[in-house]
Amino acid sequence: MTTPITIFVDADACPVKDEVYRVAGRYGLKVFVVANGFINVPKEPMIERVIVPAGPDVADDWIAERAAPGSIVITQDVPLADRCIKAGAEVIGNTGRAYTTASIGMALATRNLMDELRSAGQTTRGPKPFSPKDRSAFLSALDQAVVRLKRAGFGA
């Protein structure tokens, strides 16, 4: 029996939930939409809303504890991405950026530098506005991740 592919969505401020539902539906994959408040999700048996208690990193902890080989995590949270990569999960950002063992170190360093600059009173720009190109890149990255996992022997 093959291990099923599961998708975990760090749902707070995630602009690509509908795209996740569409790809997961096409492949018959289970999706967990994790947030610390109510998030509207389709009434589908393969999509499960998980509401965690309020608090720092509670949703991240829930996802990281379940991330494993054969799972895909959707998040822009770099420390969460790092934890999930270490657990063997595929990790994709909202703009289609795949976080990997090769790229996560630089992503963490950049995040920490920006955090230090903000703490020192520097004005830093936030992320670029989410664009149709980002949405398209995300769809492609998610589809590629599912295909990669299926080729590696994971299943629906």
Within 13 Å of residue 138, how many CA atoms lie on the same side as its CB? 25
Q: Give the predicted TM-score (pTM) of the model.
A: 0.87
Number of structural domains the chain divides into: 1
Identity of the residue numbered 44:
E
Residue 130 in any domain: the answer is: yes
Residue 40 in any domain: the answer is: yes
Structural domain boundaries, residue 34: 6-151
Q: Per-residue pLDDT tens for 1-50?
A: 578 999 999 998 899 999 999 999 999 999 999 999 999 999 999 999 99
Residue 1 in any domain: the answer is: no
Written as one string, the DSSP assignment of the chain is: -PPBPEEEEE-TT-TTHHHHHHHHHHHT-EEEEEESS-----S-TTEEEEEPPSSTTHHHHHHHHH--TTEEEE-S-HHHHHHHHHTT-EEE-TTSPEE-TTTHHHHHHHHHHHHHHHHTT-----PPPP-HHHHHHHHHHHHHHHHHHHHTT-B-
Residue 113 in any domain: the answer is: yes
Residue 128 in any domain: the answer is: yes
Residue 23 in any domain: the answer is: yes
Whether 106 shows a pLDDT value over 70: the answer reads no
Q: What is the CATH number of the domain that holds 87?
A: 3.40.50
Q: Per-residue pLDDT tens for 43-101?
A: 999 999 999 999 889 999 999 999 999 999 999 888 999 999 999 999 999 999 999 87
The confidence score (pLDDT) of residue 147 equals 96
Longest dimension (CA), the chain: 54
Residue 69 in any domain: the answer is: yes
Residue 125 in any domain: the answer is: yes
Whether 124 shows a pLDDT value over 70: the answer reads no
